[in-house]
Structure 1
């Protein structure tokens, strides 16, 4: 580590305490995961009652965990989940504390992504643009298509307004966690780097005399993401990819009926072939796939909105008016606000810390540059894509139908596209599959880095986790394990608790570094202007 603490080198690694606890955890989790994997390999996925039996046994545990993590308090007539409040309060705090860096730093972020300040000699594995696409691939998923429809159905047009607000302030949370992810990353013996909340929780808190607390939070975070990534970033994605293919191939009477295992197997082989090469391999794919799939979806959405152009003014008006009305929504204005905030938090994952793992692999010697780059992630995911989905829905159907038509989720979004472009379900399904596939790539990397944090860094250990991850892709496509998915979903959001605790503690450090960075930037620009004038 340099004297000023701006960068951590390869001298920092897991402590012996972590190694010992990791060894015990290894034996336990390997037994659990391999037993599940072997069970599904030995018994046909279509065997009656397998998924029902698993759901029945896991559901009681899931219910208790979900009740704790998504605990709600009654405020007026609205049920407010505390975990959502935790995420939103953090975003509001960091936005104010750092002087609206999400607005002030936006242009600078774009310039960094364009490569204006790139240096190939800097430490790291991938470029700023590759890091952005790798992280965006983990957040732009099925939720951008299906989740927004659920949000509008529950909260009406006004929920989109609060979704946008939450996306804008969530940019600052990403800035803080991704800056720290690079600052406290670890350089491995093979030249690769590892970073993310596990590392800045452990080492950042140790710097403040909270060594034991930091170790606990880091390990808790790593275990949660290893298990959670197998659900939300794996099984759910492969399951939804199969569902989409099923819809466009004739449904239950089509060629892919009862062939979920085959779709899962194909996905597993492709994902495995990519993730085995690490972040460089993943970035080579996402740098092409992510811009293409986002542009495909954006162009399709804009076409639908343009075809219904006469309804656009009314749709926009309904968003602003609906944000402050109580009509048709339980909980009134507060209920609408919470619904919008919740979708934004679930979509862009600001405060959960997962994206910091991908951003930590960037080639830079200045952590704040990647903090700026990460500002763009919630903007793309939530402010752009989710808003366009909302406008597609509002221009295609009247509000009464959206909120009481009996159709919700991706089926509603698909109907909105089909209403204007009859053949659109096919490319929409293709986009949904790409979203699911790219999400699996990102979460495979997140899970791998958490796995090696727990068990130690080595190629063989990475391959073990990649193998387990790919098995769960097949399982996710073949069966409907709602209880396990709910369990994993809960674990993903419990990660926000240790992550935001660490961010609050280290916020003054980020603010001080930001002042130094801006001062240096202003000085460099002043010198450049003087040289030009001379």
Structure 2
């Protein structure tokens, strides 16, 4: 352990020295370098196509049409398969799954996490609940806290409605991609499971006679997933954690973002370079607890504003179809809602399929139905709660916009103009202010939650990115170390850069995953229907016997 800590501090010693010598402007220099990259990726990925009088990002059209198609084709699984998903998670059908029972001690050797667990049963590595918890830890976090605030600030309360819609139809997409992730996963010589879009794109399309296209799409996805792990799974997390820490401690200017980023990088590095499984195991227990506190606090605020619930939902539904002036019209609000929801639950991006692929089962569709719970938890439940808290915060008697103007962005697409003094704040600050207005001092608890959420998400995404890196460069230790060092460097970059630059880069990288992934899903979705039929048949046979 000592040698790993020494290696980490040695790695960052020149950076720390540089931060100490720089009197001011270090964060600005990093941001000046990073901003053009973020702008370039945003313009490339969010390329628009004309639709009537609107220019709509093509990736949003692809997400909406794909999710809608899967929802109709599979007969609305978000509703019809919901009970089946709950029963599968709670282990009702474990007898037909094969391998060890869900509670078998062999599945928790030395507190292993998914990228280090061996495949004792030859049918997978983790239980359905463990796979779901791992994937949810990668999605439930700052997208729900800061991302929702940005969506409402830009699109008004109506954006909440479209986020919910995106979550509901996104459940179908998640069902498809995670079923395929299990079906086409690989098992290494040492028993470790490797899965995700890289494998179902290459192996699945080869089955369909498109081996060349499959290899290209798999490689493209792996490259983009590495970039997404640096962006939304990393830089965005460290940025918002830094903002909250700085706000709580009253730190401003200079190189504080850089220094806080160094500290975060060291803490994450202890886990992903040192491989200290116990720390990750403890974190996985703390984060659900903090998520519970966050949800409980949101419920308290909703109850405290019980008389405004009707008004809030009225603003959500009316704003979804009759947007307020300056919000860019109906399509503008829809795009904001879908884009932020896609960033939050990642349905269609394929990233969660990497975690779900490690599940211990003989029936790929069993994990597909479990995975559809993820967008429901992330977007339909938690994002909606956050949205209500912010809407309540902005209601003062008859004034529906007492604190900030909906649709009145600051000098960037990620800040909110406050009415009082014309100053602008970031997304996480707005959410923090909303909670503090009802529960004084909750911002301190929220800071802890945000740091833990960020830490957990970075750990999960380091696994996603590493799996993609392994697919491209092999499974050697040197290749692994190079990726991990790059990942840690982006923690520092994210902490030092502005939210505007980070959110542009993060959005673009995660949404870019949609292109190769959705192409594969359109080719392979009939396989999902076959697997679903097999799973349902096995359940019926068990019930008869």
With the length of structure 1 as denominator, give the TM-score of the two structures. 0.84
Answer with 115-124 or 185-194: which moved more: 115-124
Counterpart CA distance in 2 for 1:330 and 1:77 is 15
**What pairs up with 1:481-520 in 2 under 5 angstroms?**
486-487=504-505, 489-520=507-538
Q: Is the 8 A contact 1:77 1:331 kept in 2?
A: no
**Is residue 2:381 matched to residue 1:384?**
yes
Q: Deviations over 1:196-253 (max 9, x none)?
A: 0111111111111111111111111111111231122122212221211111112329
Give the counterpart of 1:114 among 82, 90, 103. 90
Q: Deviations over 1:376-413 (max 9, x none)?
A: 11011100110001111222222323415824622222
**Is residue 2:333 matched to residue 1:333?**
no
Counterpart CA distance in 2 for 1:81 and 1:102 is 26
**Is residue 2:472 matched to residue 1:446?**
no
Answer with 235-244 or 169-178: which moved more: 235-244
What does residue 197 of structure 1 align with? 197
**Is residue 2:417 matched to residue 1:406?**
yes
Unmatched runs of 5 consecutive residues or more in structure 2: 1-10, 101-120, 409-415, 419-424
SS at match of 2:417: coil
C-alpha displacement at 1:159, in angstroms?
Answer: 1.7
User: Aligned in 2, Cα 1:360/1:180: closer, same or farther, shift over 3 Å?
Assistant: same
User: Aligned in 2, Cα 1:53/1:331: closer, same or farther, shift over 3 Å?
Assistant: closer
Give the counterpart of 2:442 among 418, 424, 427. 424
Counterpart CA distance in 2 for 1:313 and 1:481 is 33
**Is residue 2:152 matched to residue 1:134?**
no
User: Aligned in 2, Cα 1:62/1:302: closer, same or farther, shift over 3 Å?
Assistant: closer
Counterpart CA distance in 1 for 2:433 and 2:499 is 27
Counterpart CA distance in 2 for 1:67 and 1:503 is 25
Unmatched runs of 5 consecutive residues or more in structure 1: 1-35, 529-534
Q: Is the 8 A contact 2:19 2:255 kept in 1?
A: no
Counterpart CA distance in 2 for 1:361 and 1:243 is 34
**What pairs up with 1:62-77 in 2 under 5 angstroms?**
62-76=38-52
Give the number of equivalent residue pairs: 489
SS at match of 2:252: helix
User: Aligned in 2, Cα 1:219/1:203: closer, same or farther, shift over 3 Å?
Assistant: same
Q: Deviations over 1:458-479 (max 9, x none)?
A: 3443333223322332343345
Answer with 230-239 or 191-200: which moved more: 230-239
What does residue 9 of structure 1 align with? none
Q: Deviations over 1:276-330 (max 9, x none)?
A: 5879768734641332122111001011111111111221222222222143254
C-alpha displacement at 1:154, in angstroms?
Answer: 2.1
Q: Is the 8 A contact 2:287 2:456 kept in 1?
A: yes
What does residue 308 of structure 1 align with? 305
What does residue 522 of structure 1 align with? 540
Answer with 226-235 or 268-277: which moved more: 268-277
User: Aligned in 2, Cα 1:489/1:53: closer, same or farther, shift over 3 Å?
Assistant: same
SS at match of 1:229: helix
RMSD over aligned CA atoms reads 2.7
SS at match of 1:344: helix
What does residue 263 of structure 2 align with? 266
With the length of structure 2 as denominator, give the TM-score of the two structures. 0.83
What does residue 90 of structure 1 align with? 66
Q: Is the 8 A contact 2:470 2:480 kept in 1?
A: yes
